[in-house]
Structure 1
Amino acid sequence: MQTLTILGATGSIGCSTLDVVARHPDKYRVFALTGNSQLERLLSQAKTCSARYVVIADESRYADAQELANAMGVQSEILCGSQALEDVASAPEVDAVMAAIVGAAGLLPTLAAVKAGKRVLLANKEALVMSGALFIDAAKQSKASILPIDSEHNAIFQCLPRDFEYGNLEKSGISSILLTGSGGPFRERPLDSFSSITVEEACHHPNWSMGRKITVDSATMMNKGLEFIEACWLFGASARQIDVVLHPQSTIHSMVQYIDGSVIAQMGNPDMRTPIAYGLAFPERIEAGVSPLDFMKAGTFTFDTPCHERYPNLQLAIDACEEGQAATTRLNAANEVSVEAFLNKEIAFTDIARVNAHTLDQLEPINVSTLQQILEQDRLARETATTLIRGLR
């Protein structure tokens, strides 16, 4: 029986994780659920799965959460604040942690789980984008297991040989990693209409059901850019060993190309319960509630090269990856600010990439190696992006 903490339980990954867990009550129990704004959903989840703890990120909402828990008959103990998030991620009773808090807010509790030597099911790509070497070094020191949950990285992980040596793709006969992406909802939209893209249009993905922020990131392909950076850290690959391939059908989730000409691909219907189940049960496999891929109905698979004029955020991310840790930390921070401004209808869709690029341009290159330095670069980039956005209003 595995004991789980789910960081970000009310989001799409958290809900899918609970769905898989509910299918296997003999294998998994929930220690803690964490959330922020969706209190009623969080408490309902806790009641259903009998979580021992519920953690609210926002301390000012503790009284509301306690009152609602009493009214709903929830027996879980209510905790709040950033330290509580880290505590339930690193608690001795916990075997595995689903790291599904969106954005930079997920870094510290995820890092706490890593330092405690947990099995970390990593759905929060920003943790690696922000902290890179610090994160990987902590995992090596604590002997934590990092299992990728993003569909693309999970696919790559499944396509690697079992004796894969981190950072040594050549030894495993790997020539390149092929990171697939759908291209989002605007893959064929005329470029001259991009400035009029609405929030509602950007939040409608053709294949995946995701949260609003990550859906906008998919539309700009920043999501793929962040995944590019994450893949470098997860597998010890260089930027030149990874190629991004557009695959609009989202059926092939990623591929690994070998020096003998072989390409191994992982395929399946676009449902996050598949990589979640794989991460939970690894190295075994369990039923996930996902219907098998029907090749007779799958239709045609198509592939293309991303157009950087259409997806400037993707190139920004690749360039930041090659520049170093400070650049990727800054880019992630600027993007979180600019996407939030777009969702609040304060800037245009095309301003997202503009704000991100100008933020990077205005900050001098610097080497970072400590958590404090990383968090300071995150703060500076957010301030810079916010100032730029004020100038666009």
Structure 2
Amino acid sequence: MKSISILGATGSIGTQTLEVMRSNSEKYTLIGASANSNYNKMIDIINEFKPKFVALMDDLAYHKVKTYCKDNNLNTEVIHGLEGLNTIASCDEADIVVTSVVGMIGLIPTLMAINSGKDIALANKETLVAAGDIVMDAARKNKVRILPVDSEHGAIFQCIQGNDKNNIEKILLTASGGPFRGKKRNELVNIMPHDALKHPKWNMGKKISIDSSTLMNKGLEVIEAHWLFEVSYDKIEVVIHPQSIIHSMVEYNDGSVIAQLANPDMKLPIQYALNYPERFNAVIPRLDFYKLNLLTFEKPDTETFRCLKLAYEAGKTGGNMPTIMNSANEIAVNLFLENRIKYLEIEKIIEECMNKFEYIRTPTIDDIIYTDKNVKKYVKNKYCK
């Protein structure tokens, strides 16, 4: 039986991870789970899975869950804040840690898990975007596996099995194109949050849905792919594939292209990451090739959706530039969701911060945290008046 901790257990990826665990309940046990403020869902998780630890970031949620466990004589230990995240990430009993919290808050707990010798099922994009060099170096030193949970990186991971990485000619990272595929800049001026949250294929959290609409989500995935698969940015190409059946491809030096296909459902890459190298019975509907009438591919429009171009620039520049880009995007998306800025101001803020903040070629973890804090403070002060 594999013991699992989930950082972000009540979010989209965390919820689907629990679904995978239910499908093979004799294979898994939940050791720890964290949430931000959704105490009702956390109480349901405690009642069903009986984890040893749970953590709540929000004060009210923490007290609600702690009181519930005390009143019902439950053995689950309830911990508050970052201390709780770090405890769940590094507890001795965990075999694998699913990092599905959104944002920079996932970086330190992920590093703690790695330094504690835990394998990582990685769904937190910001961890590798902001600190890819540091994280991958820690994983090598601790002989820890970073197993991708993103459908695209999970697909690439499957496509390289049994092959020499030195023979990779190109990674083809597929993208649905988001809800505004085919639109031009003048059509994006008055986009509202509810418009951008309507993803055509995937059921995701708010932040990731907005990132998908701007193509920043794909930009973050480009940087992740660089670190995960040790491939230069010149060998990572984004391909718009609206049907979201091919989840990514790898082209080899002999011209062969290997693709991973499946119905769009995050439970598949989650299951593969949890069980690697084994494959368990399907937890998603199987493809019916007689019903696949058409698979199409397009080049991304980086003039309309400039966030993808900015992500490539940040990745190639390296150092703390991806941190600057990521932090600016994170706060800008929040401001857009709060109706404080316009849709196209997201990319404007990112570019402004990339040009403004000090570049550090070889940042420490303290440099990364400092950069993140300062970028977000600057944007808040300027755009929240």
TM-score bracket relative to the smaller structure: over 0.9
Matched with 2:104 is: 104
Distance in 1, Cα, partners of 2:294 & 2:59: 50
Matched with 1:239 is: 233
- CA separation of 1:91 and 1:290: change in aligned 2, threshold 3 A: same
Establish whether residue 271 from structure 1 lines up as the match of residue 265 from structure 2.
yes
Deviations 1:246-304 (A, max 9, x none): 11111100000011111000010110000001011111111242011111112211111
Deviations 1:291-347 (A, max 9, x none): 111111122111111111221000000000011131100111111100000001111
Matches within 5 A, 1:206-285: 206-285=200-279
| 2:197–2:210 Cα contact (<8 Å) kept | yes
Amino acid at match of 1:192: N
Amino acid at match of 1:109: P
Establish whether residue 141 from structure 1 lines up as the match of residue 141 from structure 2.
yes
Distance in 1, Cα, partners of 2:219 & 2:276: 27
Deviations 1:67-119 (A, max 9, x none): 34456775422111212211221111110111101110111111111111111
| 2:125–2:220 Cα contact (<8 Å) kept | yes
Amino acid at match of 2:314: A
What's the TM-score, normalizing by structure 1?
A: 0.95
Deviations 1:323-379 (A, max 9, x none): 113110011111110000000111111111111111111113222331111111111
Establish whether residue 308 from structure 1 lines up as the match of residue 282 from structure 2.
no
| 1:338–1:389 Cα contact (<8 Å) kept | no
Matches within 5 A, 1:1-393: 1-59=1-59, 61-70=61-70, 75-162=75-162, 164=164, 169=165, 171=166, 173-390=167-384
- CA separation of 1:262 and 1:163: change in aligned 2, threshold 3 A: closer
Distance in 1, Cα, partners of 2:225 & 2:10: 26
**Per-residue deviation at 1:57?**
2.1
Amino acid at match of 2:173: L
Distance in 1, Cα, partners of 2:53 & 2:304: 45
SS at the partner of 1:325?
coil
Distance in 2, Cα, partners of 1:64 & 1:28: 27
**Per-residue deviation at 1:149?**
0.6
Structure 1 gaps, min length 5:
none
Distance in 2, Cα, partners of 1:325 & 1:269: 37
Amino acid at match of 1:340: N
**Runs of 4+ deviating beyond 3 Å:** 58-61, 68-75
| 1:368–1:374 Cα contact (<8 Å) kept | no
Count of matched residue pairs: 385
| 2:33–2:55 Cα contact (<8 Å) kept | yes
What's the TM-score, normalizing by structure 2?
A: 0.97
Root-mean-square deviation over aligned CA pairs: 1.5
SS at the partner of 2:48?
helix
Amino acid at match of 1:77: E
SS at the partner of 1:254?
strand
Structure 2 gaps, min length 5:
none
Q: Which deviates the most, 264-273 or 184-193? A: 184-193
